[in-house]
């Protein structure tokens, strides 16, 4: 046998071993649950690699809608949210956002806008999630609303930096949030407490929006803004439902959030 032929066979052998291994680990990951809930339902794959892959799936929207984080990934989410990775991921999104914003031609008629979501975009609810299991508990609207009323959520530092830069470039800022109208004053108070100012508009859910998905509600508001002559250049949000739908902005910027998913 020629050395090349031998090497070829060895490579085939190694490759089939590797694929069989992949196959087995996939089988191991299929959950027992009768209703298959996607990657969030995986049991028994507690290693850091699985949780990193799950997070990637969430950030790329492959995971679609999910309710709570995989139970085995609580440690990863806790470490991610409190460690350097979350701030570094946010910094890179911020830098890419500004790099795009600097290419935008500002007309100076007050119609060039940038949209920001609020929760986990401008404001960090991490102090709330620290005591509520980092997304491992089913969302409790009552206790979350109590937290919102305190108006003590800190700014996400990169977002505050980007916000100031965009104001400096001449953008008008529109805040488009899934929070409800009854939370307007607590939200304004919190935004000012965190260092935000000079927004053009703060849009909250009205009674007529109850029951609408975030994609529908936010798309409708963007359509209204466009109908009023605003040019929406950028949109920053931690949820895909902040960014998808029609009209879509010229560029969308997805901030990291492995703790919860808003449909």
Ligand X SMILES: *[C@@H]1O[C@H](CO)[C@@H](O)[C@H](O)[C@H]1NC(C)=O
Interface with ligand X, residue 207, by CB under 6 A: no
Interface with ligand X, residue 99, by CB under 6 A: no
Residue 107 or residue 146: which is nearer to ligand X going by CB? 146
In whole angstroms, the minimum distance from the beta carbon of 213 to ligand X comes to 23
Binding mask 37-56 for ligand X (x = CB under 6 A): --------------------
Gap between the Cα atoms of 144 and 98, Å rounded: 31
In whole angstroms, the minimum distance from the beta carbon of 145 to ligand X comes to 9
Tokens 């085995």 identify what position?
Answer: 72
Interface with ligand X, residue 140, by CB under 6 A: yes
Give the list of residues 6+ apart from residue 78 with CB closer than 8 angstroms, or none.
134
In whole angstroms, the minimum distance from the beta carbon of 183 to ligand X comes to 16
In whole angstroms, the minimum distance from the beta carbon of 154 to ligand X comes to 21
How many residues of this chain bind ligand X (CB under 6 A)? 4
On whether the CB atoms of residues 154 and 192 are closer than 8 A, the answer is no
Dihedral sign for Cα atoms in the order 33, 35, 41, 45: positive
Q: Which region among 105-113, 138-146, 177-185, 230-238 touches ligand X (by CB under 6 A)?
A: 138-146
Tokens 């927004």 identify what position?
Answer: 199
DSSP string, 140-157: -HHHHHHHHHHT-PPBPH
Interface with ligand X, residue 143, by CB under 6 A: yes
Gap between the Cα atoms of 60 and 69, Å rounded: 15
Q: Which region among 50-58, 70-78, 137-145, 219-227 touches ligand X (by CB under 6 A)?
A: 137-145
Interface with ligand X, residue 142, by CB under 6 A: yes
Residue 148 or residue 176: which is nearer to ligand X going by CB? 148
CA-wise closest residue to 243 among 152, 82, 116, 103: 116
Interface with ligand X, residue 185, by CB under 6 A: no
> What Cα–Cα distance (Å) separates residue 194 from each residue in 92, 124, 137, 159?
21, 10, 27, 11
Gap between the Cα atoms of 205 and 225, Å rounded: 15
Tokens 């990863």 identify what position?
Answer: 76
In whole angstroms, the minimum distance from the beta carbon of 137 to ligand X comes to 7
In whole angstroms, the minimum distance from the beta carbon of 165 to ligand X comes to 38
Residue 79 or residue 149: which is nearer to ligand X going by CB? 149
Instruction: List residues near ligand X by CB under 6 A.
Output: 140, 142-143, 146
């Amino acid at each position: 046998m020629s050395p090349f032929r031998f090497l070829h066979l060895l490579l085939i052998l190694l490759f089939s071993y590797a694929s069989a291994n992949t196959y087995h680990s996939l089988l191991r990951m299929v959950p027992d649950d009768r209703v298959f809930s996607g990657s969030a339902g995986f049991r028994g794959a507690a290693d850091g690699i699985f949780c990193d892959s799950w997070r990637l799936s969430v950030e790329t929207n492959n995971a679609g809608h999910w309710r709570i984080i995989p139970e085995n990934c609580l440690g990863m989410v806790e470490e991610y949210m409190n460690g350097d990775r979350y701030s570094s991921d946010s910094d890179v999104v911020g830098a890419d956002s500004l790099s795009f914003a600097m290419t935008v031609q500002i007309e100076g008629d007050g119609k060039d806008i940038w949209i920001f979501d609020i929760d986990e975009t401008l404001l960090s609810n991490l102090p709330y999630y620290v005591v509520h299991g980092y997304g491992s508990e089913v969302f409790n609207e009552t206790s979350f609303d109590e937290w919102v009323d305190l108006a003590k959520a800190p700014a996400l530092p990169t977002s505050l930096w980007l916000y100031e830069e965009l104001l400096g470039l001449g953008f008008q800022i529109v805040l488009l949030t899934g929070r409800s109208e009854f939370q307007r004053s607590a939200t304004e108070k919190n935004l000012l407490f965190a260092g935000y100012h000079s927004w053009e508009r703060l849009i909250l859910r009205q009674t007529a929006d109850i029951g609408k998905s975030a994609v529908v509600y936010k798309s409708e508001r963007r359509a209204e803004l466009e109908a009023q002559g605003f040019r929406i250049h950028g949109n920053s949000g931690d949820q895909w439902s902040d960014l998808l739908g029609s009209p879509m902005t010229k560029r969308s910027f997805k901030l990291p959030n492995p703790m919860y998913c808003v449909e």
